[in-house]
Amino acid sequence: MAYKTLIAFARSEKEMERVLATTQVIANEMDNPYIIGVYSSPAAIVYADPNGFIDPVMFEMNEKQHADIAQKLKTKFTAHMQNSRFEHEFRITNSPTGAAVDGVLQSALAADLLIAGQPDPEDAATRDETTDSLVFSCGRPVVIVPYNLSTESAKLERVALAFNAKKEASRAAFDAIPLLKAASSVDLIWIDAPLDESLADEDADTGDTQITDLSGSYIGQELEKALLRHDIKVSFKSVSSEGRSAQEALKTYIKENRIDLLVMGAYSHSRLRELVFGGVTRTILQDMTVPTLLSR
């Protein structure tokens, strides 16, 4: 099992460098994947003058600006890929909205994995963008690359799989199997896992396993077994928050254990509003320290 189609999405030259570095590391572990570079031109946001008229020059300026950026990114992408062994292409799409990310969603529907950058507050091309639409709407796992990640530090040796027995976490774990197989170590982390003793008993008459309590240790062990069937050895670790928030405990674990990639489910408060992330997901997206695969 391997990713065969990868999308490298970037909005600036600086972001393209980081995204390509991570894409290259992932591609090196796959079986000859096809790599698609994408630049999406956002629609112009133009306001009418006091008389209700819109100056068409504004549309022309927006089109020229993004055509220039697209050409620069295409040149950088092509130069990088010519030094690799992978088949590739570069696409320029038009976003129907003022957000560039909305223009990559159609391409993402026909890919195994999308790699994109975290918005950089110092980069004018990305600082007003978000990654929310990518994670919520593309229907594929997304690897977000931190804006402060150096291109030399991109690697996949140590992976942390954040788990909490919810469907989003399970989805992320299985979406990440190709990356987990490539890692030298995989830690299955549960912050404050409910560790109860009596979990499953064998019926004396039928020999069937009767599950009486789906506690943290039992579910973690079951996921360990499932991943081991894919030849992925996982170490289950219950991490105490020690009074901190789950996101702070997770970030501390990543730093202290020199994790290279975080895998986690993307959680939302869908009853309130479609595009509202949960607290842990929101914090990780805003303050990530390592590339993070998100799935929902």
Distances 204 to 197, 210, 222 between C-alpha atoms, Å: 20, 10, 22
Task: Reply yes or no on whether the pLDDT at 200 is more than 50.
Answer: no
pLDDT digit string, tens, across residues 142-193: 999 999 888 777 889 999 999 988 888 999 999 999 999 999 999 999 888 8
- Closest of 76, 259, 82, 32 to residue 155, by C-alpha: 259
Are 268 and 296 contacting, i.e. CB atoms less than 8 angstroms apart?
yes
DSSP string of 184-203, one letter each residue: SEEEEEEET----S--EEE-
Specify the CATH number of the domain 1-147: 3.40.50.620
Residue 271's pLDDT is 43
Look at the domain 155-296 and name its fold. Rossmann fold (3.40.50)
Rounded Cα–Cα distance for residues 261 and 143 (Å): 9
- Closest of 51, 69, 71, 72 to residue 61, by C-alpha: 69
- Domain ranges for the chain: 1-147, 155-296
The length of the chain, given as a count of residues: 296
Packing angle, helices 279-286 and 246-256, rounded to 10: 40
**CB within 8 A of 257, min separation 6: which ones?**
158, 160, 187
Using a 10 angstrom Cβ sphere, with 0-12 exposed, 13-18 middle and 19 or more buried, the burial of residue 254 is buried
Task: Reply yes or no on whether the pLDDT at 203 is more than 60.
Answer: no
H helices of the chain, in order, are 13-28, 56-82, 105-108, 132-137, 167-175, 177-182, 216-228, 246-256, 279-286
pLDDT digit string, tens, across residues 47-84: 555 656 566 666 666 678 888 999 999 999 999 999 88
Give percent of the chain with pLDDT exceeding 90.
45
Task: Tell me the residue type at 32.
Answer: N
Are 246 and 280 contacting, i.e. CB atoms less than 8 angstroms apart?
yes
Domains 1-147 and 155-296 share a fold: yes
- The tally of CA atoms less than 13 A away on the side-chain side of residue 190 is 25
| Higher pLDDT, residue 64 or 92 | 92
